[in-house]
Amino acid sequence: MRRLTFSFIIATVGCSCLWAQNLDQILNDHFRASAQEKKSGISTMTTKGKNTVAAMGLEMGFTLYQSRPAKLRVEADFAGSKIIQTYNGTTGWTYAPLMGITQPQELGNNDIRVMLNQVEMDSPLWNYKAKGKTVELLGSSDDGKAYRIKVVLRNGDESTLYIDKETSLISKFDITQVENGMESKMETEMKDYRKVDGIPLPYSVVSKVGGVTVNTIKVESIEFNNKLDPALFEKPVVQ
C-alpha cells in the first residue's frame, strides 16, 4: 500500500509538470499566431461595424475607440439617436436617451467589469501573472478541436477561453455574469479572422446565452494608432 501511495504521488506530480509544459507551449503558440508582439506596440484601436440585437431584430452601427492602458468609448446609432458608453480608466458613464437615460449616468462596478472583460487590446492571456490573473489548462473542448483554459482575475471573476488547435487563435470564451441577482453564462464565439497590418483579428463575434444568440457583431474596419482626443473617454457631453 505504501509503495502504491508513493507511486501514485510520483505519477501525479509527473502529470502536473507535463500539464504545465503543455500550457506553456499552447500559450507560446497562441502569442505567436496572434502576433502579440506587434499588438503590444499598438497605442489606440478604432473599430467600426454593425451590431444586431437578436431579441429585438435591430441592427445598430457602432464605433469602438480604445486607448491604452484601459480606456474605451462605444458609440452606437439607434433609431436616429446615440447610445454612448465611456470609461477613462477609473470611471465609466452611459448615455442612452431612447432607454430613458437622458443625462450621462455613472456605470456601476459590475457594468464596468463586464465591459472590460469583453474588450481587451491584448490577448487576455498576455502577461497574465503581472495582471494578477491565474490560468489553468482544463483539457480539450467536447469536439476536441480546441484547448480549454480557465482564467481567474484578481477580483475572482472567471472565464474559460478556447484556443483553436489548428490556428492557435481564440475561437470562443465563456463568462458567467450576474445581473439583478440572476446568474447567466454568456458564450462568445470569435470567427472570420482577418489580418490587419499583420495582426489577425475576428471580424465576426457572436454572443449567446443559454445557447440562444443574443447579439452578432460584424466588423467593417479596424484602424491602429489613430490620434484620439483624451476627452473621448470622459463623461459624454450632451448637446
Q: pLDDT digits over 106-143, tens only? A: 988 777 777 776 667 899 999 999 888 999 999 999 99
Question: Tell me: the pLDDT tens digits for 74-113?
Answer: 999 877 788 899 999 889 999 988 888 889 999 887 777 7
pLDDT at 60 exceeding the cut of 90: no
Write down the pLDDT at residue 118.
62
Round the average pLDDT of the chain to a whole number and report it: 85
Cα(66)–Cα(43) distance, integer angstroms: 8
Write down the pLDDT at residue 212.
86
pLDDT at 15 exceeding the cut of 50: no
Segments forming the whole domain that contains residue 164: 2-233
Residue 212 domain-assigned (yes or no) = yes
Question: Tell me: the pLDDT tens digits for 155-193?
Answer: 778 889 999 999 999 999 988 766 666 677 789 999 999
Residue identified by cell 502536473 is 16
Nearest by Cα to 28 from 143, 163, 121: 163
Q: Which residue would you say has higher pLDDT here, 220 or 69?
A: 220
25: which residues sit within 8 A by CB, 6+ positions away?
Answer: none
Residue 62 domain-assigned (yes or no) = yes
Please give the average per-residue pLDDT across 45-53, as a whole number: 93
Residue 238 domain-assigned (yes or no) = no
**Contact (Cβ atoms closer than 8 angstroms) between residue 106 and residue 95:** no
Residue 90 domain-assigned (yes or no) = yes
Cα(15)–Cα(19) distance, integer angstroms: 6
- Give residue 3's pLDDT band: very low, low, confident or very high (50, 70, 90): very low
Residue 7 domain-assigned (yes or no) = yes
Q: Where are the alpha helices (DSSP H) in the chain?
A: 2-33, 36-39, 109-118
Residue 239 domain-assigned (yes or no) = no
- Give residue 7's pLDDT band: very low, low, confident or very high (50, 70, 90): very low
Q: What 3-state class would DSSP assign to 43?
A: coil
pLDDT at 11 exceeding the cut of 70: no
Total domains, the chain? 1
CATH code of the domain in which 147 resides:
2.50.20.10
Residue identified by cell 450632451 is 238
202: which residues sit within 8 A by CB, 6+ positions away?
Answer: 190, 191, 192, 193, 219
Residue 101 domain-assigned (yes or no) = yes
Write down the pLDDT at residue 119.
66
Q: Which residue would you say has higher pLDDT here, 141 or 13?
A: 141
Residue identified by cell 480606456 is 71
Residue 20 domain-assigned (yes or no) = yes
Entry pTM: 0.84
**DSSP letters along 58-123, please?**
EEEEEEEEEETTTEEEEEEEETTEEEEEEE-SS-EEEEEGGGTEEEEEEPPHHHHHHHHHH--SS-
